[in-house]
Amino acid sequence: MVSATVGRGAVLGAVVLSLLAVPARAATAEPDTAEQATLAAPDTAGVAAALRSAVTAGAPGAMARIDDHGTAYGVTRGLADRSTRRALTTDDRFRIGSVTKTFSAVVLLQLVDEHRLSLDAPVNRYLPKLLPDDRITVRHLLSHRSGLYDYTNDMFADSESGFEAVRNKVFTYRQLVALSLKKPRTNAPGAAYAYSNTNFVVVGMLIEKLTGHSVRTAYENRVFKPLKLRDTFYVHPRTTIPGRYARGYLTPGRAGAPLIDATAQTVSWAQSAGAIISSTRDLDTFYSALLRGRLLSAARLREMEEFSRVDSTTAYGLGLRRRSLPCGVSVYGHTGIVQGYYTYAFATKDGSRSLAAVATTSNNGQVQQAMWGVLDSAFCGKSAKATDRNRKK
């Protein structure tokens, strides 16, 4: 289903693992100087085709919402619930996985704006003796350059048994950090980009230490309420999603095995690295507001947009990913995986066009790949099809 709603007023607006498996490499943060091609109109037919491909590849449902200068386009395919056969709608809430990391980064950078911490100070200054190396700074956490091992590599070495072992478990932050510190660090602090959920677990600890409140309260007071995000929640350690939501299904590793309903879980193994619940509307609002400078000072936003190259199409800043599309447009946001959901949320540099999309499964590489096509059609328009044809020649 494709729908469009027009508004004349200004619109506000990664198991959690990275959607990109890339080797660690030397990383030097540089200001964002990405050039932008002329932005074509969104190709909603192309978006619908990409969502249809995701459903054909095994996702029970897939949806996307584009906000283009106040005009919203919603596209859905498939089901929100396999048992009741209810159709998916763009009003349905879902678990956003590592897209949570941008929310956490925003809160921490607001604290920098308030002179309550320094990005280049050792983490151990604020959390004494937590980490084994005083050279690890706050900036290293936010840019995935701390060298701290990602404990989820071991936790979900087997996707099904790993998930069942933790779906109802409640961890403390320190327990998660301890799991990481059982393993050697991946590199020296600042030497290389290496995606690790451990970094943003420590970010959550910093938020709670410096504010004196839970991350839930910090998210609510600093982001959810100011932006009027009516579908966005942090309910940890509760296992339920409030209100109307899409169920998420884990794809088993065994061919032919039935999908596993993974909707109910604590997400305690991720917390500030990946436990937020939201909707496509709210994610569009959030990234548009962020990139328009509504959440951070100009100085902090510039620092957030100092990117280290990850591969030929992606770079990482401070809790923010930049992706270069085939048409020459660069978009800014994050990706997320939590059991049952693949999430993609990006916007243009000026926040004038935003996209939020989700497929209601995980552990399925074909679905994951199909969903990247949503970005191309949303930001490159019909030229994305011609570019794709040229790449295949």
| Catalytic annotation, residues | 98
Angle at the Cα of 347 from the Cα atoms of 344 and 352, rounded to 5 degrees: 150
User: Alpha-carbon distance 133 to 172, whole Å?
Assistant: 21
CA-closest candidate to residue 94, choices 371, 282, 294: 282
DSSP assignment letter at 30 = E
Q: For residue 171, how far is the Cα from the chain centroid?
A: 21
Helix (DSSP H) and strand (DSSP E) numbers for the chain: 13, 18
Contact criterion met (CB below 8 Å) for 198 and 183 = no
On whether the CB atoms of residues 315 and 29 are closer than 8 A, the answer is no
Which one-letter amino acid corresponds to residue 366? Q
| CA separation for the pair 59, 97 (Å, rounded) | 17
CB atoms within 10 A of CB 9: 6
Cα 112–chain centre separation: 22
Rounded to whole angstroms, the Cα distance separating 96 from 335 reads: 8
**CA-to-CA distance for 378 and 393, rounded, in angstroms?**
23
Burial grade of 164 (CB within 10 A; 0-12, 13-18, 19 or more): middle
Cis peptide before 132 (omega within 30 of 0): no
Q: Are strands 361-362 and 277-278 parallel, antiparallel or unpaired?
A: unpaired
- What does the block give as tokens for 300? 């902090």
**Residue 136 near residue 145, CB atoms below 8 Å:** no
Asked if the bond preceding 326 is cis, omega within 30° of 0, the reply is no
Distance CA 225, CA 243 (A): 18
